[in-house]
Chain A
Amino acid sequence: QVQLVESGGGVVQPGRSLRLSCAASGFTFFSYGLHWVRQAPGKGLEWVAVISYDETNKYYADSVMGRFTISRDTSKNTLFLQMNSLRAEDTAVYYCAKDSMAGPNPRGAVDYWGQGTLVTVSS
Chain B
Amino acid sequence: EIVMTQSPATLSVSPGGRATLSCRASQSVSSDLAWYQQKPGQAPRLLIYGASTRATGIPARFSGSGSGTEFTLTISSLQSEDFAVYYCQQYNKWPPITFGQGTRLEIK
Q: Which range holds the interface residue count of chain B?
A: 20 to 34
| B43–A114 touching, CB < 8 Å | yes
A50 to chain B minimum Cβ distance, whole angstroms, is: 7
| Chain B 2-26 interface 0/1 with A at a Cβ cutoff of 8 Å (1 = within) | 0000000000000000000000000
A12 to chain B, nearest CB (A): 22
**A: contact size bracket:** 20 to 34
Contact B44 A62 (CB under 8 A): no
The complex places the Cα of A77 from the Cα of B101 at a distance, in Å, of 32
* Residues on the A chain within 8 Å of B95, using CB: 47, 50, 59-61
A106 to B99, CA, bound (A): 17
Decide: A47 and B43 in contact? CB cutoff 8 A.
Answer: no
Q: Which residues of A contact B43 (CB under 8 A)?
A: 95, 113-116
**A45 touches which of B44, B46, B92, B94 (Cβ 8 Å):** B44
**In the assembled complex, A7 has its CB within 8 A of some CB on chain B:** no
Q: Mark A41-81, 1 if CB is under 8 A from B, else 0.
A: 00011110010000000011110000000000000000000
Please tell me if A100 contacts chain B, counting CB pairs below 8 Å. Answer: yes
CB within 8 A of A113: which of B45, B92, B98, B99? Answer: B45
Docked Cα-Cα span, A113 to B99, in Å, equals 15
What are 6 A-B residue pairs whose CB atoms fall within 8 Å in the complex? Answer: A45-B89, A45-B99, A61-B95, A62-B96, A109-B49, A110-B34
A-contacting residues of B (Cβ < 8 Å)? 32, 34, 36, 38, 42-46, 49, 55-56, 87, 89, 91-92, 94-102
